[in-house]
Amino acid sequence: KLTSREFHPQDTVVDVDGVKIGDGSFVTMAGPCSVEGEEQIMETARMAKAGGATILRGGAYKPRTSPYAFQGLGEEGLKIMRKAADAYGLKVITEVMDEAHIDVVCEYADIIQIGARNMQNFRLLEAVGKTGKPIGLKRGISGTIQEWLNAAEYIAVQGNSKIIFIERGIRTYETATRNTFDLSAVPLIKKLSHFPIIVDPSHGTGVWDLVGPMARAGVASGADGMIVEIHPDPLHAWSDGEQSLNEKNYLKMMEEVNILVDAM
């Protein structure tokens, strides 16, 4: 298989326009769950940069559990996220949910995110594979490691070798956390595949004060980076406020993470 370590023994480094993922550094992607408006995304980009993130995250097309919940700003959201990222010298990662939006997302984003709910949307995987863009592939809500690897294979078989695995927790019987963050996936994916893997302690736990400890554990597990939700005012965030870090807590987390990164 194209994604297997056997096929390609060396680590693959995904180069996002100069930001390298999988080269031994620890890359941080930070930003709001949803892009809410220009002022919010500008302020969040400033925060992200101040903490040392190099990639801005943010959803413009949101996979919400309820059809009545905020669905995202669409192209307007992409536009202002690009503007904010450029203002602070950041790259952009954002989710695409639908084949119909691939072209517009490619216009504004540097990395296409495939959300957990679409890990096995095979036609979507093929379509994003064809774009040649770096793809951040989240683990499915109840995805096994083998299913996740096969999902990546759907992308790779299209000639795309810029895949970044994202461990974001899986559903188990536990309800005290939003998901069960499966850190063993990091060394396991590294053993089975040559592509980089980053962790998402925000969706992995769903609880803001668990994010820092699990981010640190992510570094210790050998992850190539993390994607984390931050917000200037988490209490009033339009989505995932309960797992988003405010500026003070984000900066504190980054300080602690950097100590571990330097020690690794």
Nearer to ligand PEP, 2 or 218 (CB): 218
**Residue from 81, 85, 96, 116 that binds ligand PEP (CB under 6 A)?**
116
d(CA 130, CA 82): 22
Q: DSSP strand E in the chain: where?
A: 14-16, 19-21, 27-31, 55-57, 91-95, 111-114, 135-138, 163-167, 197-199, 225-229
Q: Which of residues 192-231 bind ligand PEP (CB under 6 A)?
A: 203
Nearer to ligand PEP, 71 or 258 (CB): 71
- Residue 97 binds Mn ion, judged by CB under 5 A: no
CB of 91 to ligand PEP, least distance (A): 16
- Residue 53 binds ligand PEP, judged by CB under 6 A: no
CA dihedral for 74, 79, 84, 88, sign (positive or negative):
positive
d(CA 264, CA 260): 6
- Match 């490691």 to its residue by tokens: 145
Residue 195 has which token pair? Answer: 């592509």
Packing angle between helix 38-51 and helix 75-87, nearest 10 degrees? 40
CB of 117 to ligand PEP, least distance (A): 6
CB of 33 to ligand PEP, least distance (A): 5
CB of 263 to ligand PEP, least distance (A): 29
196 in Cβ contact with 20 (< 8 Å): no
CA distances from 212 to 2, 162, 235 (A): 34, 28, 18
**Residue from 22, 31, 59, 234 that binds ligand PEP (CB under 6 A)?**
59
Beta-carbon contacts of 183 under 8 Å, excluding residues fewer than 6 positions away, are: 167, 199, 214, 217, 218, 221
Work out what residue 218 binds among Mn ion, ligand PEP, none; the CB cut-off runs from 5 to 8 Å by kind: none
- Residue 190 binds ligand PEP, judged by CB under 6 A: no
- Residue 178 binds ligand PEP, judged by CB under 6 A: no
3-state secondary structure of 217: helix
**Residue from 2, 19, 21, 33 that binds Mn ion (CB under 5 A)?**
33
- Residue 115 binds ligand PEP, judged by CB under 6 A: yes
Work out what residue 116 binds among ligand PEP, Mn ion, none; the CB cut-off runs from 5 to 8 Å by kind: ligand PEP
- Residue 240 binds Mn ion, judged by CB under 5 A: yes
**Residue from 16, 19, 33, 96 that binds ligand PEP (CB under 6 A)?**
33
The residues binding Mn ion (CB under 5 A) are 33, 240
